[in-house]
Structure 1
Amino acid sequence: MNAHLPSLAFKRKKQVSLILQSEMSECSLACLAMVAGYYGHQVDLNSMRLKFQVTSRGATLESLISNAQTLNFATRALRLEPELFDQLTLPAILHWNFNHFVVLSECKDNQFTIYDPAVGKRQITFETLSKSFTGIALELTPLQNFEQIKDTTELKVWQLWSKANGLKRSIAQILLLSVIIQLCSMILPLFMQFSVDSIVISEDIKLLYALALGFSLFAAIKVGTDLLRSHIIIYLSSHLSVQVGNNILSHLMSLPLKWFESRHVGDIVSRFSSIYPIRDFISKGFVEALVDGTMVIISLILMFMYSTTLATIVLSVITIYAIVRSIFYTPLKIAQEEELSAKAKENSNFMETIRAAKTIKAFSKEAQRQSLWQSYFVSATNSQVRLLKVDVGFKAVVDALLSLESIIIVVVGTLLVINNQLSIGMFFAFFIYKQQFTDKSVTLIEKFIEFKMLRLHLERLSDIILSKPENIGTKDLSRDQFILGRITVNDLSFQFSKNEPFVFARLNFDITPGESVAIVGPSGAGKSTLMKILMGLLEPVSGEVLLDGMNVKTIGITNYRRQIAAVQQDDELLSGSLAENIAFFSDKIDFERVHQCAQMAAIHDDIMQMPMGYNTLVGDMGAALSGGQKQRILIARALYQQPKILLLDEATSHLDAKTERLVNEAIKSLAITRVSIAHRKETIESADRIIDISRINNPSAH
């Protein structure tokens, strides 16, 4: 292969940096990012997503090769047996379990180091590897024009709280109170020194009581100030949680549908929960770090004033502690990252099992699902055990180090007292200052490590915050504005990614105001995909959708959706009453309209037969209702919005012919534009016109 230069000197890292995937199908991007980082092109998943499109269907080896070549890698796909891995240029990407990609970084003594973007770093044996490796490997070699750059889109802490009201004032108050607390703590050791050196010798009891009263005052100030500071921290923490949580949720709900479809619910919940450790650091840890840093300097100065020898010993031990802590940082970060990922997977599986309880019971698969959850749970537990082992190992080293420090200080300090270089009171005071210095130094170092560990939570949150929201548009278009309801589709094409075939291509049709159109075609022709585009839930690759001659993108998705209502195949009801669901939890429910819409959807009589009528609770996502009842409530919900255009995707599939006819006649009387996807003959015949998606200007269907 002449395309690359084997002799080209790249400064390589000794280890691959682990990158865990966020989406279900982006293992190829994560693997490519890990290999690129190994050769000096530092790139994160956010940047990779902007460069390369990967759908929820996953990626092929062909698309992986294409993406690697875009990053200026020479690629070579190989079919080989694991016995020949010693001939591979590492790190290499392996095809895994026929549905996944991993990075192989090292082969040594029947041990293989695998970086799995779904699990983490693993050491596996030849036997384990042979069971999962499919026989396909991809070598990546940098070309001459390969760039060693940093291409990352990192989220900064200040970006989360830059707009939080009252943050600076509260932090200033906490900082001031913390300084007062620490100054009181610095004064209290002097009581020990004066008591031992002056009062014991002079036997002045009155002076002892006077000093005790004075230092008690300082202690009272310290306790009161600490109590006040705690209340401010509680207020700040709750205030920040509300503001930041609301801002992140608002941004989360503005993300496009495909973002949600490519992630597990448990993983999204886990990422959202990362705001809490960040909040705790900002409201408490950050201020404590500033105060501790100041107190460390003051304590160190005081210790040197008492004894240079003892102070040097203490400073040396703290320096060793900082070095040990930095050594343990990387394994601790990796272990915590793997633990968070494993817990998210276990949580997703648990939620999925609860949601599908009816189906699982119907197929008698309880034992199988329990076994699968147990596998995820054991994996999460093992990740936690690895994290605890790293932490236990570090604490053992630290305990030994600090215990040795105290022994040395007592020995050397006693010798200094014997040699009259320190008084007994000064030694007691020094020991207290030493303890304060050690505690504050350890806390300060831990806060620094905690700050670095925040990067892990920021990376998880960045998947939400740095994702691009939908285009809401700038045109002012209210629901009350006069809209005819004409839909025009011009040269509409869609594919899930550039490496996949078109679902449909160059679709053209026009739906006049008030017309009822049924979209038909064979399964897989793209009917539901087209409906999602008409709803504004998916963006086409090319072409446009017009509402009364106005481009939907110009109008803006939010404004466009105010003019339409839809009932999809997988629509859900939310926790609340039937009336609330029909009105979709409107601030002011128009009960007359609720009843009218329910009657049009032929569900009013069913509701009135229920014990609580319209106040009946629907249960978890409508679990207490039959399929037909649920569909009719969803139709009533859509009608309540008073749309100009009604989009129905198999919205009456659970209804009998008589009920369906009643619903269709009621909707027809509204004289609004109706677009339906259906397979049933009765539904199709009720339409004014039929559009066969497989035949209209669609070369991909032939």
Structure 2
Amino acid sequence: MTTQATLQDIFTSQGVVKEMTVNTPFLLNDPDKCWWIAQGSINVYTVQLVEAKEVGKRYFFFNAEPNQLLMGFRSAHTGEGIGFSADATEDSLLYELPLATLRQCLQDQNLSNDVVSLVDGWIDNVFEGLSKNENFPSRPADDLLKANEMIVLARGESISSVREVIWAKINIQKVDNLLFNGLLPLPTPTEEVYIPISRRSFLKSSRNVSVRLLSSAKALQTEEAWRGLAMLDPIIFQLEKDEIEQVNALDKALLKEKYANRWDKVNEVLRETGSIFDRRKADKYAQSITIDTDDDLFNACQVVCQEQEIQLTPPETDEKSTDLIGDIARVSKVRYREVLLDKDWWRKDAGAMLGFWQADGSPLALMPLPKGGYEAYNPATKEAFRIDAAKAAQIDKVAFTFFKPFPNHALKVWDLLRFGVYRNIQDFYLLFLMGFSANLLGLITPILIGVLFDTVIPNAEKFQILHVGLALLGAYGGMLLFEITENFALLRIETQLDWRLQAAVWDRLLSLPTSFFRQFTTGDLADRAMGINEIRKLLSGVATTALLASVFSLLNFALLFYYSISLAFSALGLVLVQVVLIYLLGRWQISLEKKAFAYEGKVQGIVLQLLTGIAKFRVTGTEISAFTHWLGYFNKQRKANFQAARVQNLQNLLSGMMPILSAAVIYTIVFSLPEKQKLSTGAFLAFNAAFGAFMGAMTAMSGSLVSILQVFPIYERTRPILETLPEIDSAKNNPGKLRGEIEVNQVDFRYDADSPWVLQDISLRLKAGEYVAFVGPSGSGKSTLVRLLLGFEKPDNGSIFFDGQDLSQLDLRLVRRQIGVVLQDGQLTPGDILSNIIGSSPHLSEKDAWEAARLAAVAEDIKQMPMGMFTIISEGATTISGGQKQRILIAQTLVHKPSLIIFDEATSALDNRTQAVVTESLNKLQATRIVIAHRLSTIKDVDRIYVFDKGKIIQVGSYDKLMQQEGLFKELATRQLE
């Protein structure tokens, strides 16, 4: 019979059975009793007690699992004030046992280890519950000790445990010199006590004091340890009381703010009602502030973004944050960038920008005016003023602009058009008006030609010839001015569409789920992403002008009917023949270009792969094979392009011939007209001029029609990017500050419906700060589970929880921001070491980089480099060793102090000494750590090992425990030792 079974016998034979269902709580108010959880799960809550009964709201404290212990608390006010209640989360079975009986088991060598494990688990759970208090200080990073050590604490120094619970033996007269977690002094005992310390707690000295540390196995054999455990109860009650009072005060403040906001909205509506009758009093910029806050920066951002119809969300207040604009952009899920204001920036329209006064750095909304120039709005003073050279000199040269993202749904062509048009309505109106006006003036030419040849010349009216010439000159001058204005409007439209659409496309691309990127190679995806810009080029410029000209040429077509109905219908027939022929040739060309685009995407992907793999090709001597592989697709692409170009040549030939053939047909028809229907010379020339203009517009329209047809194959390639829903959903919840607690509940996963299951019925629970390892052969599901934890994939069945929150309901971007991932084959960016470690984070400094480098055991290596932190890393990191590269990648993760760190065989390139330094540094971070390990000697000190095989967890335990069991883990470890 095993030790565990023997201890279980004690509980089952001597304990009282306690069966529990959900919502059947009982109070943990008897310090002389303990409860062992045989099955199920128990949540412990902090509650308010009145006459020994639970009243009011519950506050979650911690969760206890099977084979864990619950113990009673000793309260100074029995039945009143703060208490602790236990309730089942599912049908559960507990055994109640006198604490004295449990303590007697410590005298039995076969039971003592299991009793120590149960008590340590209870202490760890209680301290974990306390650590959820936001005001509960984090343990110091540099004073982590183990049992059987002796240390002298100077004033202000602290001690904590690396992993297991340890006990501090202190002189009885100096116990009150220690502060529990630096908050509350320990009460002065009447007898000697031992104070428990876990990895979630610490003792801080207010004066010099000597401390001897004992293991739980030794301490729990003494009465001093149990007295020390009981002595902590008043501190626990006080800390929880303070936490409840703080939460209640916050709830009251939020409720008060809610009612205040409600009345603010009422007042705002009343003000708007009053402004209806007096527009002069309406403040257009103040009305843009839809969320009224005391934050001038946020209000200025609202004014700037309202111009682009971007709705902002106020971020949570963080006094430590130095990237306030970034916080607003991240919470609101918009992109932004820094811009530099040049000398005469206020004379040009660069869109709305966020600026700052040079003097005090207060924010300004820099808003373009419809008639040119800029106006600045100061949210602090609620005043707006026109910017001139003097004002511009007082504004900081660095400003910020925001980019509007696409709507958060599958996009259609109409969505793109609406997105591109919304800020250019005036330019589109101007474009239409100028085009119509130019074509209207164009009617003067054929009319005056008819008058000239039918009236003026036959009557030899010399002055009338001058008048006609001046009229024609004026008409052409007016048309020139209209076309110049039209081209300026078109240029503004193109510029606005280009930067706005491209920014939105790349924002959409960066927001797509990672499963999307498995469908395409990198080069192919880049080519698809640029498709929107290609569509914009095809639809703007000449194509837009030609389409408008063809619409307005209907005025010339109407003029044809004025001169001759029969000739007008003949002209219409000729135009229709041309349009139909060009359309059919265009369809043929498009089918060929569709193939060419598909091959181009494959060629782009192959080229990128070849460029990144040149070194491998040279090592393996396969350059010819790589070249042949590329050449095959390149030849197919060029063949499709050549065939499409031949069809294009036919279109060009037809477009060139049709005006001549049409003129010949018109002349033939005119010659064959009956005498009564024949036109005068002036009327014929006028008809011919109008027909020439109409035919030219239709020819241009035919070419534009081909360009429009080219849009469809490009759009087909871009459609996956536009129609795939973004991974980041604005409706998802903010996870808040994560502590690192993870629960995976009965998760099944496979990559598609036809593939086998990669993970089956995976369940595990990681407490905050635990260090666990995933072990197993290749393909067993370890990395897939990590992908699920990162939200890269979604489980087919089951759920994943972070700090009790369902991952499927959380904003994945905010979750990943608190997770650090170090991969075995991670890559560094060409540049200096400093930028590789801190990246673009504005709140990180060189000091933070050195601290992260020290934790990753690479600081000394960097100091020995020629330029220290500013040493340049080349492409492929060929200037540093593999171990240095791996440690810089680790520093890159540690500098952000994530709550969860995932290592995918990330320490494989480190020697044993360096690995020990890195492991010790990780222990000080209090982050939850998951390591995927193949070198099993590196995970001897982890809290727990999960052994995977064929998508299932088949073993769980510590390194020593699993080495004592026959199974896959022992087989893998033995194989490596050999």
Q: Normalised by the size of structure 1, how large is the TM-score?
A: 0.71
Match of 2:559 in 1: 302
Which residue, 869, 891, 907 being the options, matches 1:652? 907
- Cα shift readout 1:317-350 (whole Å, capped 9, x = no counterpart): 1122233234334322211111111111111111
Q: 1:173 to 1:574 in 2, by over 3 A?
A: farther
Q: 1:266 to 1:696 in 2, by over 3 A?
A: closer
- Cα shift readout 1:292-327 (whole Å, capped 9, x = no counterpart): 344332112211222334323221111222332343
Cα offset, 1:477, TM superposition: 3.6
Q: CA RMSD in A?
A: 3.1
Q: What is the CA–CA distance in structure 1 between the aligned matches of 2:718 and 2:864, rounded to whole Å?
A: 47
- Cα shift readout 1:528-568 (whole Å, capped 9, x = no counterpart): 11121122222222222222222222333223223311112
Contact 2:856-2:891 at 8 Å conserved across structures: yes
**Does the alignment pair 1:361 with 2:621?**
no
Which residue, 815, 822, 828 being the options, matches 1:567? 822
SS of match in other structure, 1:162: helix
Which residue, 777, 800, 824 being the options, matches 1:545? 800
Match of 1:158 in 2: 414
Q: What is the CA–CA distance in structure 2 between the aligned matches of 1:436 and 1:542, rounded to whole Å?
A: 67
Q: How does 1:30-69 map to 2 (within 5 A)?
A: none
What are structure 1's unaligned runs of at least 5 residues? Answer: 1-152
Cα offset, 1:353, TM superposition: 0.7
Contact 2:550-2:697 at 8 Å conserved across structures: yes
**Does the alignment pair 1:582 with 2:837?**
yes
Which residue, 942, 946, 953 being the options, matches 1:687? 942
Q: What is the CA–CA distance in structure 2 between the aligned matches of 1:649 and 1:615, rounded to whole Å?
A: 28
Cα offset, 1:695, TM superposition: 8.8
**Does the alignment pair 1:554 with 2:806?**
no
Cα offset, 1:161, TM superposition: 3.2
**Does the alignment pair 1:177 with 2:430?**
no
Which residue, 492, 495, 514 being the options, matches 2:747? 492
SS of match in other structure, 1:669: helix
Q: What is the CA–CA distance in structure 1 between the aligned matches of 2:728 and 2:423, rounded to whole Å?
A: 31
Q: What is the CA–CA distance in structure 1 between the aligned matches of 2:557 and 2:933, rounded to whole Å?
A: 79
**Does the alignment pair 1:266 with 2:518?**
no
Contact 1:650-1:676 at 8 Å conserved across structures: yes
Q: How does 1:131-530 map to 2 (within 5 A)?
A: 156-164=412-420, 165-280=422-537, 283-284=540-541, 288=545, 291-413=548-670, 421-470=678-727, 472=729, 474=731, 476-477=733-734, 481=737, 483-530=738-785
Cα offset, 1:525, TM superposition: 0.9
Cα offset, 1:222, TM superposition: 1.8
Q: How does 1:632-671 map to 2 (within 5 A)?
A: 632-671=887-926
Match of 2:19 in 1: none
Q: 1:197 to 1:575 in 2, by over 3 A?
A: farther
Q: What is the CA–CA distance in structure 2 between the aligned matches of 1:230 and 1:279, rounded to whole Å?
A: 16
SS of match in other structure, 2:687: helix
SS of match in other structure, 1:571: coil
Equivalent pairs, count: 548
- Cα shift readout 1:260-285 (whole Å, capped 9, x = no counterpart): 12211122122212212432455457
Contact 1:515-1:672 at 8 Å conserved across structures: yes
Q: 1:219 to 1:607 in 2, by over 3 A?
A: farther
Q: 1:649 to 1:154 in 2, by over 3 A?
A: closer
Q: What is the CA–CA distance in structure 1 between the aligned matches of 2:442 and 2:410, rounded to whole Å?
A: 39
What are structure 2's unaligned runs of at least 5 residues? Answer: 1-408, 956-966, 969-978
Q: What is the CA–CA distance in structure 2 between the aligned matches of 1:283 and 1:506, rounded to whole Å?
A: 55
Q: Which stretch shifts more, 565-574 or 444-453?
A: 444-453
Q: What is the CA–CA distance in structure 2 between the aligned matches of 1:486 and 1:161, rounded to whole Å?
A: 46
Q: Which stretch shifts more, 277-286 or 369-378?
A: 277-286
**Does the alignment pair 1:673 with 2:928?**
yes
- Cα shift readout 1:181-217 (whole Å, capped 9, x = no counterpart): 2223332334444444445444444443333333222
**Does the alignment pair 1:603 with 2:854?**
no
Q: 1:472 to 1:579 in 2, by over 3 A?
A: farther
Q: 1:383 to 1:628 in 2, by over 3 A?
A: farther
**Matched AA of 2:774:** I
Contact 2:502-2:533 at 8 Å conserved across structures: no
Q: What is the CA–CA distance in structure 1 between the aligned matches of 2:859 and 2:461, rounded to whole Å?
A: 92
Q: 1:372 to 1:697 in 2, by over 3 A?
A: closer
**Matched AA of 1:677:** I
- Cα shift readout 1:352-394 (whole Å, capped 9, x = no counterpart): 1111122122222222222222222111101101211222334
SS of match in other structure, 2:903: strand
Contact 2:412-2:723 at 8 Å conserved across structures: no
Q: 1:605 to 1:436 in 2, by over 3 A?
A: farther
Cα offset, 1:581, TM superposition: 2.8
**Matched AA of 1:390:** V
SS of match in other structure, 2:765: strand
Cα offset, 1:633, TM superposition: 2.3
Q: 1:289 to 1:650 in 2, by over 3 A?
A: same
Higher helix proportion, which one?
A: 1
Contact 1:473-1:557 at 8 Å conserved across structures: no
Q: 1:633 to 1:161 in 2, by over 3 A?
A: farther
Q: What is the CA–CA distance in structure 2 between the aligned matches of 1:242 and 1:541, rounded to whole Å?
A: 39
Cα offset, 1:675, TM superposition: 0.5
**Matched AA of 1:555:** L
Q: What is the CA–CA distance in structure 1 between the aligned matches of 2:609 and 2:524, rounded to whole Å?
A: 12
Cα offset, 1:254, TM superposition: 1.7
Q: What is the CA–CA distance in structure 1 between the aligned matches of 2:950 and 2:753, rounded to whole Å?
A: 23
- Cα shift readout 1:143-197 (whole Å, capped 9, x = no counterpart): xxxxxxxxxx995322113234413222111111111222233323344444444
SS of match in other structure, 2:520: coil
SS of match in other structure, 2:774: strand
Q: Which stretch shifts more, 302-311 or 523-532?
A: 302-311
Identity of aligned residues (%): 26
**Matched AA of 2:414:** W
Q: What is the CA–CA distance in structure 2 between the aligned matches of 1:312 and 1:388, rounded to whole Å?
A: 34
Contact 1:473-1:554 at 8 Å conserved across structures: no
Q: What is the CA–CA distance in structure 2 between the aligned matches of 1:696 and 1:495, rounded to whole Å?
A: 10
Contact 1:535-1:566 at 8 Å conserved across structures: no
Q: Which stretch shifts more, 615-624 or 390-399?
A: 615-624
Cα offset, 1:617, TM superposition: 4.7
Q: What is the CA–CA distance in structure 1 between the aligned matches of 2:865 and 2:477, rounded to whole Å?
A: 64
SS of match in other structure, 1:519: strand
Cα offset, 1:476, TM superposition: 4.7
Q: What is the CA–CA distance in structure 2 between the aligned matches of 1:191 and 1:617, rounded to whole Å?
A: 74
Q: Normalised by the size of structure 2, how large is the TM-score?
A: 0.52
Q: What is the CA–CA distance in structure 2 between the aligned matches of 1:229 and 1:390, rounded to whole Å?
A: 32
Which structure would you say has the larger Rg?
A: 2
Q: 1:696 to 1:364 in 2, by over 3 A?
A: closer
Q: What is the CA–CA distance in structure 1 between the aligned matches of 2:776 and 2:759, rounded to whole Å?
A: 12
Q: 1:375 to 1:198 in 2, by over 3 A?
A: same
**Matched AA of 2:523:** G
